[in-house]
Amino acid sequence: MANPFFPSFLSGKKRLVKGEHEVSIEPEAQTEQVVEDEALDTKRYIFLFYLIIGVVFLSLFLKLFSLQVVGGARYREQAEGNRLRIRATEAPRGIIYDRNKNPLVKNVASFSLQVYPADLPIKKEDRFALYKKLSEDLNIPLSEIEKVEARRNYQEPVVLKEGLSQDEALLLESKTTEMPVVKVVKQPSREYLPKEFSLSHILGYVSESKGKSGLEESYEEYLKGVDGKQSIEVDALGRVTRILAASPAKAGDSLVLSLDLGLQEQMVKSLLSMMEKTKSKAAVAIAADPQTGGILGMVSLPAYDNNLFTKGVKNNEYEKLLKDPQAPLFNRAISGTYPSGSVIKPVVAAAALEEKIINPKTTISDPGVINIVNKYNPSIVYSFPDWKPGGHGRVDVYKAIEQSCDVFFYALGGGWQNIPGLGEKRLTNWLTKFGLGKKTGIDLSGEKEGFIPTAAWKEKVKKEIWYQGDSYHLAIGQGDFLATPLQILNYTIYFANGGIMYKPHFVTEIDTPEGQLVRKIDPEIVAKDLVSRDNVQVVREGMRRVVTSGTARSLSNLPFTVAGKTGTAQNPHGEPHAWFIAFAPYENPKIATVVLIENGGEGSSAAVPVTREILQYWWENKKF
């Protein structure tokens, strides 16, 4: 066959023989244009290819730059976190001692079962499979273990069980040998003296490694110590491969209290005995050093066992405490507010003397009742009786305190016969000066202010004006007036030492674990010379006569001198509250006390005998 291409005889033509008899002639320029177009398309394809390659490499470069330069530090930290762990070692808390260095609490070994969330499996299904295995092997409800899931991004361990005994810890440790994510951890725990010492309201308790109430809470920054730390390296399964760095735990500082443990124990025994006799369900006793304001003993009954909380109190146990009608968690000594009854009379007498509405020689004739005729309706007569029918006869301020003469104090409060009376404003002002209606500032949380009724309050709340009878009631500690036992003790201290009121406190010094002094806590004066020394002495002598010839004569045969004041406070919740305040020795007081028996009846028959036993113990065992 002939070659289909042959030389062109026509200029500008290209001939193509398609068949034996057919010849196609195409313009040569058109063929060259096709070739050029094909070449251009090829270049475009090559450019697009290199462009895509360039974009891909640029994206990779930017990603690498972001990972290594921009986020390098963060990713390095995360990577280290995948193999490095920080494990804390809880520091032992400081010890709390009484004034004679008797420990009131100690640290004991405690065990807890903990999960380290950072070591949990990455996949969710693997984690939940592990939770199920833990629940089955360790006999812990699955719902409890699954709570770990919410904290799986945390480094801190999650406690599954606490307060384990040593036997329980050993058993669980054997079961968790092949589970690096779970550890049995040994840590210090608090062990308090038994409930019989009634120290729970004073010391409080520790929960979740933190003081939650009492002195444990108030002095947390000193008691807590400094936790130790370990930097460890773990493998992919969370097993420790080596310890990289470690700092030991440092024990917390210790507290030394003004409290005397023996006196505290005696106060508990005496109160419990009287509560049984009077069928009372609650009582308070506080003793303090009148020269410093340091608390020697404080008992609020009923109390609770603070050891329950250190071991992880069960929900049903806590609910039982909360629902107990006698409120054992409630510290009545600083938070209970009560009508004071006649134990307020020394304050009212001092105020009247200082305001010069009476002097030591002022007298009235007490008929046993004051009758006030309604000036708008003379047919209405208001009667304010004395506790003693027929009255006390001729009475001055000494005898009024000694015999607790209500009529004399009615006169001091609202006026009668030749005594003009303090009236609402001066009366409430003086009660405030003596620390009533406000917190004392003791180093415990939960203190209440009490309440002093005023004319403004009565008009606002009761929509009534202040009557003369309101001043009468306030002057004998009745009506709407309320005070805490600690407030009552605080002004008792003022009369005991001759004119100084201190901020009550428990802690006298803070020491290192080795016994070196960190801080000395000096007595803090909150009021001084509210009334003249002469007027203080008048009140003191009246309180002394309460014991020698008045309502507390049962104390007159003690081998030391005592002064005091009884109180029987009417209340809307049953029998009267029995009160007694005292200090001894009279000449140079070293102890001041307040005793309250809720619904105990007469102060002379319920509170005075308790005080006698407390003071007898102090005298026979005095070390301060």
Q: What is the 3-state secondary structure (H, E, C) of 63-116?
A: HHHHHHHHCHHHHHHHHHHCCEEEEEECCCCCCEECCCCCECEEEEEEEEEEEC
pLDDT band (50, 70, 90) for residue 69: low
pTM for this one?
A: 0.81
Identity of the residue numbered 121: P
Q: The tokens of 143 are what?
A: 């719902």
Per-residue model confidence (pLDDT) at position 42: 73
Average pLDDT on 76-97 reads: 73
Q: Between helices 468-475 and 423-433, what is the axis angle to 10°?
A: 30
E strand or H helix at 502, and its extent? strand 500-502
Per-residue model confidence (pLDDT) at position 10: 43
pLDDT band (50, 70, 90) for residue 359: very high
Of the candidates 315, 221, 339, 383, which has an alpha carbon nearest to the alpha carbon of residue 576?
A: 339
Torsional sign, CA 75, 78, 82, 84: positive
| Statement: residue 358 has pLDDT above 60 | yes
Phi-psi region of 381 (alpha: psi -120 to 50; beta: other; left: phi over 0): beta
Whether 501 contacts 528, CB under 8 Å: yes
Alpha carbon distance 500, 543 (integer Å): 17
Whether 190 contacts 200, CB under 8 Å: no
Q: The tokens of 478 are what?
A: 């009745």
Least confident residue range of 52-66, 184-198, 505-519: 52-66
> Which range, 67-76, 83-92, 502-511, is most confident?
502-511
* Architecture in CATH for domain 261-621: 3-Layer(aba) Sandwich (3.40)
| Statement: residue 272 has pLDDT above 50 | yes
Binning the chain into helix, strand and coil, the percentages to the nearest 5 are 40, 25, 35
| Statement: residue 588 has pLDDT above 70 | yes
Average pLDDT on 562-585 reads: 95
| Statement: residue 37 has pLDDT above 90 | no
| Statement: residue 102 has pLDDT above 60 | yes
Domain ranges across the chain: 13-61, 85-249, 261-621
Per-residue model confidence (pLDDT) at position 76: 53
Per-residue model confidence (pLDDT) at position 36: 63
More confident residue, 35 or 602: 602
DSSP per-residue codes, 577-594: EEEEEEEESSSS--EEEE
Domain 85-249 is in which class? alpha beta
The residues that bridge with 527 in the sheet, in sequence order, are: 501
Residue whose tokens read 């729970």: 200
Per-residue model confidence (pLDDT) at position 234: 65
Average pLDDT on 591-607 reads: 97
E strand or H helix at 309, and its extent? helix 307-310
More confident residue, 136 or 609: 609
Least confident residue range of 142-156, 290-304, 504-518, 598-612: 142-156
Q: In what order do the strands lie in the sheet with 158-164?
A: 158-164, 105-115, 182-192
Per-residue model confidence (pLDDT) at position 38: 65
Q: The tokens of 556 are what?
A: 């007159």
| Statement: residue 229 has pLDDT above 90 | no
Average pLDDT on 356-377 reads: 93
pLDDT band (50, 70, 90) for residue 613: very high
Name the pairing type of β-strands 254-257 and 96-97.
parallel
| Statement: residue 40 has pLDDT above 70 | no
Alpha helices in 315-421 (DSSP H): 315-323, 332-335, 345-354, 397-403, 406-414
Percent of all residues in the chain with a pLDDT value above 70, rounded to a whole number = 88
The SS3 call for residue 478 is coil
pLDDT band (50, 70, 90) for residue 192: very high
Q: The tokens of 166 are what?
A: 């040593």
Least confident residue range of 22-26, 308-312, 502-506: 22-26
| Statement: residue 21 has pLDDT above 80 | no
The SS3 call for residue 499 is coil
Per-residue model confidence (pLDDT) at position 32: 59
Whether 303 contacts 200, CB under 8 Å: yes
pLDDT band (50, 70, 90) for residue 242: confident
Number of other CB atoms surrounding residue 484 within 10 Å: 29
Whether 338 contacts 451, CB under 8 Å: no
Per-residue model confidence (pLDDT) at position 6: 42
pLDDT band (50, 70, 90) for residue 31: low
Per-residue pLDDT tens for 386-426? 999 999 999 999 999 999 999 999 999 999 999 999 999 99
Q: The tokens of 5 are what?
A: 């291409």
Average pLDDT on 597-611 reads: 97
